[in-house]
Amino acid sequence: MSTNEKITARFTIAGWEEKPLDGIEGDWVAAVVMRKQYVEGIIGEAVGHFVSSGGMEGGYMAAERITGTLDDGRSGSLTVHHGAIRDTSDGSAFGYIIPVGGTGDFAGWSGSARITHDDQGPMFTFEITHPDVSG
């Protein structure tokens, strides 16, 4: 059996390191290693590899590894692939939890992941399906 669950996880940006992409000339594409601190919903940290195109008005794709603990004590790591054509508020945003990427209590998780913003800042909303581990 499986269980469906929704988790909202707020984060802050803790690091931003631009990286060159060998063999690509011009400014039409950029790569960044981003580090995040998860401060609500999931307490932990993440490292993500982002590729963007078109500057600030362009889109991005990312693979992000999140490691942390939920409010109920479950802990582990999960991998999320996410992106948007313009930005996370324009309706093009997408995100998926990679089903084989979880560890610990997050093993076997799959589902969607979407970044939104409010007056408190950015957050991920995860719509998760995972194995039912209840007795």
Quote the pTM value.
0.90
Distance CA 39, CA 16 (A): 18
Share above pLDDT 70 across residues of the chain, in percent, rounded to a whole number: 94
Domain count, the chain: 1
What average pLDDT does the structure give for the chain? 90
Name the residue with tokens 């991005």. Answer: 60
pLDDT, tens only, 5-61: 999 999 999 999 988 888 877 777 889 999 999 999 999 999 999 998 877 677 889
pLDDT band at 135 (very low <50, low <70, confident <90, very high): very low
Q: What are phi and psi for residue 19, nearest 5 degrees?
A: -125, 140
Tokens found for residue 90: 């324009």
Tell me the CATH number at 59: 2.40.350.10
Residues spanned by the domain of 8: 2-131
